[in-house]
């Protein structure tokens, strides 16, 4: 089947249901479904129920399912024509907390259109993933040309702790030949992408102690170190002067740089003009295929409470991103042994290992990958590229373990300006139409392949 022709046939059908799909997305985005600990669980339940209702209206026999101590998920299945393969469509209906309200130009839970973008928490990450699946199903009037299973979880933003439980319990409903994880980003406006690598992560908390109690800094300073002096030295040893990670035993692979310029990157992050980029090699390899270590928290006496005192203890939390191809636990071991060998003046170290998540390298061959690549290219009218992401989706391993024969395909609903997890999150509505056309086209192309 010709991908271009199929995409051209499907586009008017996607457009015809867009008002309905968008209204569903806006209803979802009005629900503050934060899954993090400490937030009200009732909205997460409501977003699960609405997700199931929207899939039912799109022709899927969807239901809300729960597990002990977990936020609810939504599962469903529509059989394809005999002999066709089945794709599992994944998204998540929970969201990140909105952060300070005054940093948002409009109410985070009242979706608002400005300049062709729909603003609001979850309009992109990842309620747009749900909306994409709805649009693809609606393009076929609820009877897709391949088998479709859906799985929409409610605790991705808080770590997907029960995802494996759900996959095992619902295996019969979710069994599949390929998985589309609609929770990543395209390369840029006008350029679709498949995410084929993701870094893993490893957390470490390091406490440095130099004394049993605090003492007068005038009386003892000069002979006795304070805890922050020791901690900042060991933290400074993690990078060289160019900002390259200095921990031994980590993989660093350079890849051909994609056309991301320093200027664009600075625009995305709001870098101060005097601040230089760190690391070496192509800009994309620094974020995708090399390790990074960030200091994400520090417990020490605050400036407001500071007095002329040598403080005995200080603590930092480190977040390491682990390059594809490296075991996350081994990378965490390398970081721990670096800290142990670089602590100055015999200060006492207490290291607490946090969770690790494995890096991901996806398939770039096979019928599902080929169908997706062709579908994306046809929807945008330009070839899709393979990209990496610096962040992690540790649960991909749960899918790989549960459905070992299935191709895992990570697709984008976001673009670089979507501001997922940050204030003023938004969805580019023009790109969103292409995302929907591409997924509908994929269903057709994948249905034309046969189960092996």
- Judged by the rule CB under 5 A, the positions of this chain that interact with Zn ion are 125-126, 183
Considering 26, 94, 126, 153, which one is annotated as catalytic?
94
Handedness of CA 118, 124, 126, 128 (dihedral sign): positive
Distance CA 204, CA 316 (A): 8
Q: Is 94 a catalytic residue?
A: yes
**In 10 A of CB 222, how many CB atoms?**
8
> Is 156 assigned a catalytic role?
yes
Contacts 24+ apart (CB under 8 A), 216-220: 216/308, 216/309, 216/310, 217/308, 217/309, 217/310, 218/308, 220/310
Q: Smallest distance, Å, CB 91 to Zn ion?
A: 8
34 to 42, 71, 142, 170, 440: CA distances (angstroms):
10, 10, 30, 24, 29
Residue 108 and residue 122 in contact, taking contact as beta carbons nearer than 8 Å? no
Which of 126, 153, 156, 415 is catalytic? The answer is 156
Supply the minimum distance, in Å, between the C-beta of residue 450 and Zn ion: 32
Q: Which residue's CB is nearer to Zn ion, number 183 or number 358?
A: 183
Q: How far is CA 146 from the centre of its chain?
A: 27
Is 80 or 154 the residue whose CB approaches Zn ion more closely?
A: 154
Q: Closest distance between Zn ion and the C-beta of residue 344, in Å?
A: 41
Cα dihedral 319/288/200/169 (nearest 10): 130
Which lies closer to Zn ion via its Cβ, residue 152 or residue 227? Answer: 152
Q: For residues 182 and 126, is the Cβ–Cβ distance under 8 A?
A: yes
- Residue sitting closest to Zn ion (CB): 126
Nearer to Zn ion, 142 or 159 (CB): 159
Instruction: Give the nearest distance from C-beta 265 to Zn ion in angstroms.
Output: 21
Measured from the CB atom, the residue of 125 and 415 that comes closer to Zn ion is 125
Cα 19 to Cα 13, 24, 410: the distances in Å are 12, 9, 26
Q: Residue 62 CB, nearest distance to Zn ion (Å)?
A: 20
Q: Write out the catalytic residue numbers.
A: 94, 156
């Amino acid at each position: 089947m010709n991908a271009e022709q199929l995409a051209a046939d499907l586009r008017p059908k996607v457009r015809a249901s867009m008002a309905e799909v968008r209204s569903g997305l806006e209803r979802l985005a009005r629900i503050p479904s934060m899954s993090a600990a400490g937030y009200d669980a009732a909205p997460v339940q409501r977003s699960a129920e609405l997700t199931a209702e929207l899939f039912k209206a799109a022709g899927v026999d969807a239901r809300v399912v729960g597990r002990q101590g977990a936020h609810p998920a939504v599962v469903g299945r529509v059989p394809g024509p005999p002999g066709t393969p089945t794709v599992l469509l994944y998204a998540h209906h929970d969201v990140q907390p909105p952060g300070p309200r005054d940093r948002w130009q409009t109410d985070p839970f009242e979706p608002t259109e400005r300049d062709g973008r729909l603003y609001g928490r979850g309009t992109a990450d990842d309620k747009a993933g749900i909306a994409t699946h709805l649009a693809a199903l609606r393009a076929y009037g609820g009877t897709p040309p391949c088998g479709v299973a859906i799985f929409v979880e409610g605790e991705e933003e808080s770590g997907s702790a029960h995802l494996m439980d759900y996959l095992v319990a619902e295996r019969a409903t979710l069994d599949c030949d390929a998985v589309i994880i609609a929770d990543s980003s395209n390369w840029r406006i006008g350029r679709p992408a498949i995410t084929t690598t993701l870094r893993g992560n490893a957390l470490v908390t390091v406490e440095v102690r130099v004394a049993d109690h605090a003492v007068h800094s005038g009386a003892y300073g000069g002979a006795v170190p304070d805890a922050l002096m020791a901690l900042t030295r060991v933290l400074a040893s993690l990078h060289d002067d160019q900002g390259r990670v200095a921990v031994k035993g980590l993989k660093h692979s350079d890849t051909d740089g994609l056309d991301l310029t320093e200027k664009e990157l600075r625009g995305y992050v709001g870098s101060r003009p005097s601040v230089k980029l760190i690391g070496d090699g192509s800009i994309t390899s620094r974020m995708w295929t090399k390790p990074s270590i960030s200091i994400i928290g520090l417990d020490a006496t605050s400036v407001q409470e500071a007095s002329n005192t040598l403080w005995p203890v200080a603590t930092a939390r480190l977040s390491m991103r682990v390059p594809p191809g490296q075991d996350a636990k081994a990378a965490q071991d390398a970081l721990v042994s670096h800290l142990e060998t670089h602590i100055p003046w015999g200060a006492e170290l207490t290291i607490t290992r946090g969770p690790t998540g494995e890096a991901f390298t996806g398939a770039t061959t096979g019928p599902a990958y080929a169908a997706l690549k062709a579908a994306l290219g046809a929807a945008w009218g330009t070839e899709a590229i393979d990209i990496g992401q610096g962040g992690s989706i540790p649960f991909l391993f749960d899918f790989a373990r549960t459905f070992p024969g299935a191709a895992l395909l990570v697709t984008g609903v976001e673009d670089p300006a979507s501001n997922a997890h940050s204030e003023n999150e938004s969805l580019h509505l023009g790109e969103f139409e292409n995302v929907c056309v591409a997924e509908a086209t994929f269903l057709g192309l994948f249905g034309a392949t046969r189960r092996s």
